[in-house]
Amino acid sequence: MEELKTEIASVTAGENRLSHEANEETKAVVDFRSMLGEFQKDKLAVVALGTLVFLLLFVFVGSLFFDETQVMQVDLLNRYASPGGNHLLGTDEAGRDVLGQLLLGARTSLVAGTAVTVLSGFVGIGLGLLSGYYGGILDGLLMRFIEFIMILPVSVLVLVLVSIVSEYSLFTFILLMSAFNWAGKSKVFRNRTRSEAKRDYVRASKTAGTNDMLIMIREILPNLSSLVIINTTMSLARNIGMETGLSFLGFGLPPAVPSIGNLLRYAISPTVFENYAWVWLPAATLIFVVLLCIIYVGQALRRAADARQMQGQ
Amino acid sequence: MLNKMFVTFLLAALLAGCGNDEVLLEAAGDLPDPSAVVQEFDTVMNSDDPAIAGGVLRYALVAEFSFQGVFNPAFSEDAYDEELMGFSHESIFSYDEEFQLTQDGMATFVLNENLKTISITLQDNLKWSDGAALTVDDILYAYEVIGHPDYAGSHYGDAFANVVGMTEYREGAAASIAGIEVLDDTHLTIAFKELNPSLLQAGGALWSQPLPRHQLESIPVSEMTRSAQLREKPVGAGPFRVKAIVPGESVLFEANEYYWKGKPKLDNILVEVVGPSTIVSEMEVGNYDVAVMPTSFYKAYKDFDNITLLGREELATAYIGFKLGSHDGGTGANSLDPNSKMADAALRQAMAYALDNAFVAAVIFDGLQQPANGMIPPVFEGFGDDEAVGFSYDPVKAGELLDKAGYLDRDSDGFRETPEGEPLEINFAAVAGGDAAEAVVAYYIQQWGEIGLDVSLSTGNLIEYQKFYDMLASDDPAIDVYQATWGTGMDPNPIEILGRASTRNYTRWTNEKNDVLLGQINGAAALDETARTGIYQDWQALLFEEVPVIPTLWRTQIFAVNNRVKNFNVRYGATRGWETIELTSEEPVR
Amino acid sequence: MWNRILRRVFFIIPQLFAFSLLVFALAQWMPGDALTGSLTNLDNPWYIRYLQWVANMIRGDFGLSYTYRMPVVVLVGARFGNTLWLAVASLLLTYLIAVPLGIYAGRFNGSLGDKVIRFFNSISFALPIFIVALLLVWLFGFQLALFPTRGMPLLPESQTLLASLLNRVHHLALPALAFAFSASASTIQRLRSGIIEAKQEDYVLTARSKGVPESMVYRKHIFRNSSLPITALLGYDITGLIGASIFIEYVFAYPGIGRLFISSLESRDFSVIIAVLLIYGLAALVGTLVSDIILTIVDPRVRVR
């Protein structure tokens, strides 16, 4: 019941709107390395991690074999060609190679998802640390501000931003997606930092006169490392999912650029869904497996951290 | 002449009882052969099964996005609204398969060539869908509204100005239109300054949609488009009446018992907006009774056994237009900008020769579309020019034209610069959701790339229908070249699409010889058919030289009709319409 | 307690105010005048414009839709009911699925059934909701033709109330199922952890040692303690519901607010976009309010700000 109550309390505090983020909270902090050790015992998670690495290699190495201009070459005579021969995964409506689009698109999605995670991670964790450590008016203001950003789902806000900025590059797109993403993270880390900041070792360092920044980075942060890992992992899955979703709705990258979302859009037409499944099915499967692996790894990490914590490490 | 797309779709709603079956010809050979005969389709569908009483017909309005919902022929701007009005609004005149007005409608007419007048006689006891009397006063009212100084819609043009006394009324100098004389409830005479052959053309220069004065007169003209009367409870003279609307999504029509041909057999027609990507499967499962199908998926649905395919030539030409100037909202005139990016005719010609539309038509559309060699669709015999050469695929020639005009690739980046040495980036806009739109657009851009032109999509993506036409109408600088469709309606008169004073001339192209020829088309010179053909041919030749537009494709319109529908006929000029449709079962056949 | 609740209810007013400021700020970036739907009127200083906007809204004037050229209020009003139906049906179905499964998984944790449930949970986390929706539409809508594939049709008057209700349920089935498939995972997980924890609580062990039958232990103690918080968290799930509804309405062409949102984004109809943002924000704030109130009633130890 305790966990549930903690969760309620934290949710009431407006921390976690997204339900699975709530499950990332661990009651205390755990050493990163010992967590990894625990992780290794979870065979399914190791398999997931292995698969993930394999898929990443497949995408990144595979995409080197394809040149974007060539992949997006329109070849009307070969429209909706079934897999085989020149096109291992067939072609789409305009005769463009699906495998090439899949690999290049997946690479873009992964890069974008990672970039957004890293960017919002830095901002979120950074602001959270600062806010939790110093407290005061700025902390109060920031938390209020975050509260209002978090009223609306991130995807809605990103959609609005994308519609305002009509033409954008991949870089701008990443910025837009990160624009509101950091808020939830900020809150989580701010709360953690606050409780850490009350602990003895921090007070000791403060009394010893250590620089605040050093305290935050060298002492508090490592203690939050398990949280960082888990939070980042789940965040990565969410961001990749969000990018795919935006692309699917038509608010991602332009149709001339290979992307997973564009391939998935083909599934909207039941005729294509059924008769030309090679266009959308590989993309859906790839994204699904990648996300599944990331989520498994993240859940396993959390379980590992919990296990460690219960062992009193 | 006031050919709007609405007339095209008004036609979609007309049917006949007995029709002539046309032979179904197969396109020759397995590989798509561009020169093969365009497939022909039946236009009538009959069923011997007994009809049920009443019933609800489910009509799919195939559109990627939504309709605007302005249920009024004077104010609607949207092709989909016009398709919807085919159920609820009707012209007072009937017409035949050559789109000439005939005397079988709600009104008869007499043209007096000497006096340059048309006398209209309405039938007695006509009623609007709300039961109020429909009289010639409502016809007069239509002219008064469209000619009104506050009228901001797009139907006021040369055709209206041609009515005696209209210009004075439009400027506010006169309180009424001198040239329109109401003799009594059923007799009206309109006097014209010039006799325009389009006057006798359906959907032409003679405005034939009355407006309900009793419903609208209390609303200032400037606010009419927004009024609830137009949007929620429109009043029309068609076989059905709007019962409920979800804006942009669906409309429920109910039978209009006041309809002049008698109460329709169906109880209701339910119209829903269905995306082109799902309509094929929707028809297969039997969710809808009638839909206009995307031709690029023909192979997927041609063998469905629960539907019958009917087809006819579409009253439209797909074309690529160039933004060549601007439009002055105040004076209403277009003006050519000699410095616009696309101002050089050689550049435009080269872009025309770079495209192989025969190939596109054969490969993407299975021969159900054909390359256009002019702007007038071949369904209008005697207007188009069968012998015209038109543009064909000749990339070598395109390259030569560009070289000669000074568009060279001096910095070897693969793209040509302007003669002045500036980089040339062309922005191309197209509507999202069109039949195989993405593939066609990608192909065009690639072909232009092959001749060294750097073309990219305006806003980076295909553009939503309403936004697209807004951008065109407001001459948004983000568009240099665009792909659109000219819905000719039943009158191929091109003054609206390329006239100097037309708001719908999105190219903003003006040309003196064009003015002369259009004047002839709209004047007494064209009253003689042979002369008219000659004028149109000259006009097509001018277009071929000046290239304000590149005609690309003529299309076949394919209707999928569920087998439970009786009496469906899409032949142009049919005299019986939606009121005769019946159903043979409670639910569509699956 | 009622004092606290009342305070919480009134707190929504400054919340709305702050949220509207946020939306107002966003609107400044939009071309034209998103707040009235016109393209003019940018002369007054911002606070005047803000006040004017709020005053208009109180009167029910949310501006004009640029695309449809009709009042935004009418446009939204026609669809709001539909989305509400969808939301209710979705939540109902989610809890219908999640609660039994969550309890089972928690009660019999470690068993094969639990493992299977957890496996499906992971799948539903990883599978994007729109793919679930597309699969459901294709399978049940087109292949098996058991359910309608899209929309929510207007019906002729002749339909009886029962018939129209059945028709509505028929049309809601697949969309609600798509949502439930995606959203039940987190509820199942919560319930499961809650029950696992509760199983180890002292009072449960005491009851067991007293010889109280297992099912009664569950019913009286564990379930009751675990279920109420789930319901309370419902309000906080509104945000998730909003995001999901956009995708579901898109795939099912369901005429609700979500679909309107997407089409207004595509046509850059900014006054509609603003109105939808306000509705979503209001829904989220009200949801949070309801949940806070329930929690206050349920557990006085939980402090609500």
Q: What's the rounded Cα separation, in Å, for the pair C40 and C38?
A: 6
Which residue from A minimizes the CA distance to B443? A74
How big is the B-C interface in CB pairs under 8 Å? Answer: 90
Average pLDDT over residues B558-585: 88
Q: Do C263 and B268 touch (CB under 8 A)?
A: no
**Joined tokens for residue B245:** 């609307």
Are B15 and B569 within 8 A, CB to CB?
A: yes
Beta strands in B347-431 (DSSP E): 369-371, 425-429
Cβ pair B249:C141 closer than 8 A? no
Q: Kindly compute the dihedral angle of the four CA atoms of residues C163, C168, C171, C176, in this order, to the nearest 10 degrees.
A: -140
Contact (CB<8Å) A268/C243: no
Structure tokens at B132: 């109020």
Characterize the bridge pairing of strands B425-429 and B454-457.
Answer: parallel
Nearest by Cα to B359 from A142, C30, A78, C170: A78
Burial A41-70 (b: 16+ CB within 10 A, else e): ebeebeebbebbeebeeebeebbeebeeee
What residues form DSSP beta bridges with B553?
A: B318, B371
B226 closest CB neighbour out of C69, C145, C263: C69
Per-chain mean pLDDT for chain B: 87
More confident residue, C304 or B272: B272
**Closest residue in A to C237 (Cα–Cα):** A17
To the nearest whole angstrom, how far is the Cα of B277 from the nearest Cα of chain A?
5
For residue B60, is pLDDT > 60? yes
Please state, in angstroms and rounded to a whole number, the distance separating the CA atoms of residues B138 and B236. 11
Whether the CB of B154 is below 8 Å from some CB of chain C: the reply is no
Burial class (CB in 10 A: 0-12, 13-18, 19+), A77: exposed
CA atoms of B415 and B36, how far apart (whole Å): 36
Euclidean distance between CA atoms C76 and B18, whole angstroms? 45
**Average of per-residue pLDDT values in chain C:** 83
Q: Say if residues B160 and B205 touch (Cβ distance below 8 Å).
A: no
Give the neighbours of chain B: at least 3 Cβ pairs within 8 Å: A, C
Instruction: Provide the 3-class DSSP secondary structure of residue A207.
Output: helix
Chain B's closest residue to A74, CA to CA, is B443
A101-131 pLDDT, tens digit per residue, is: 999 999 999 999 999 999 999 999 989 988 8
DSSP track, B217-247: TTS-GGGGGG-HHHHTS---SSSEEEEEEET
Q: How far is CA B364 from the centre of its chain?
A: 23
Residue A240's identity, in one-letter code, is I
Asked if A278 contacts A286 with a C-beta cutoff of 8 angstroms, the reply is no
- Alpha helices by DSSP H, listed for C137-237, are 161-199, 202-209, 214-216, 224-233
The amino acid present at B238, given as its one-letter code, is: G
Separation CA C150–CA C137 (nearest Å): 8
| Pair B379, B44: CB distance under 8 Å | no
Report yes or no: B114 and B100 within 8 Å, Cβ to Cβ.
Answer: no
Q: pLDDT (tens digit, 9 = 90+) per residue, B309-336?
A: 999 999 999 999 999 999 987 777 889 9
Nearest CA in chain B to C74: B247
What's the gap between Cα B589 and its chain centre? 31
Are B451 and B398 spatial neighbours (Cβ–Cβ below 8 Å)? yes
Closest chain B C-alpha to A165 CA, distance in angstroms: 10
For B:435-474, CB contacts with A below 8 A are: 436, 438-439, 442-443, 445-446, 456-457, 459-462
B363 has a chain A CB within 8 A of its CB: yes
- List pLDDT tens digits, range C242-292: 999 999 999 999 999 999 999 999 888 889 999 999 999 999 998 888 888
Q: Does B467 touch chain C (CB under 8 A)?
A: yes
Evaluate whether B199 touches B206 at the Cβ level (below 8 Å): yes
Name the CA dihedral angle for B222, B218, B190, B202, rounded to a multiple of 10 degrees.
Answer: 70
Amino acid at B149: P
The CA-atom distances, in angstroms, between C276 and each of B217, B464, C279 are 34, 19, 5
For residue A30, the model assigns a pLDDT of 57
**Cα of C37 to nearest chain B Cα, Å:** 13
- Which subunits have 3 or more CB–CB pairs within 8 Å of chain A? B, C
Q: What ipTM was reported for this prediction?
A: 0.86
Domains and CATH numbers, chain C: 70-152+165-303 (1.10.3720.10)
Chain A residue with Cα closest to B279: A269
Residue (of C295, B36, B314) closest to A7 by Cα position: C295
Within 8 A of A159 by CB-CB distance, chain C residues are: 246, 261-262, 265
How far does B566 lie from chain C, in Å, by closest CA? 21
Interface of A with C in 251-310 (CB under 8 A): 251, 264, 267-268, 270, 273-274, 284, 287-289, 291-292, 294-296, 299
How many Å apart are CA B448 and CA B453, to the nearest integer? 5
Tens digits of pLDDT across chain A (313 residues): 333 343 444 433 333 333 333 344 444 455 667 777 777 777 888 899 999 999 999 999 999 999 888 899 999 998 999 998 888 999 999 999 999 999 999 999 999 999 999 999 999 998 998 888 888 898 898 988 888 888 888 889 999 998 888 777 888 889 999 988 899 889 889 988 888 888 888 888 888 887 888 777 887 887 888 888 889 999 999 999 999 999 999 898 888 889 999 999 999 999 999 999 999 999 999 999 999 999 999 888 888 887 776 665 4
With CB atoms and an 8 Å threshold, state whether C255 touches B250: yes
Query: How many CA atoms lie less than 13 Å away from B51 in the CB half-sphere?
Result: 17
Least confident of A49-58, A239-248, B348-357, C155-164: C155-164
Q: Which two tokens stand for residue A225?
A: 């490392």
Residue whose pair of structure tokens reads 């060298």 in the numeric block: A218
Of the partner residues C70, C78, C158, the one whose CB lies closest to the CB of residue B246: C78
Instruction: Name the DSSP class of C218.
Output: I
Residue B409 · residue B415 · CB < 8 Å: yes
Map tokens 């497939």 to a residue: B39
First to last CA, chain A: 22
**Residues written for chain B:** 590
SS3 content of chain A, % helix, strand, coil (to 5): 75, 0, 25
Rounded to a whole number, what is the distance in Å from the CA of C21 to chain B's nearest CA?
28
Q: Using pLDDT thresholds of 50, 70 and 90, give the confidence band for residue B212.
A: very high
B251 touches chain C (CB under 8 A): yes
Residue B10 has pLDDT above 80, yes or no: no
Q: Is the pTM of this model over 0.95?
A: no
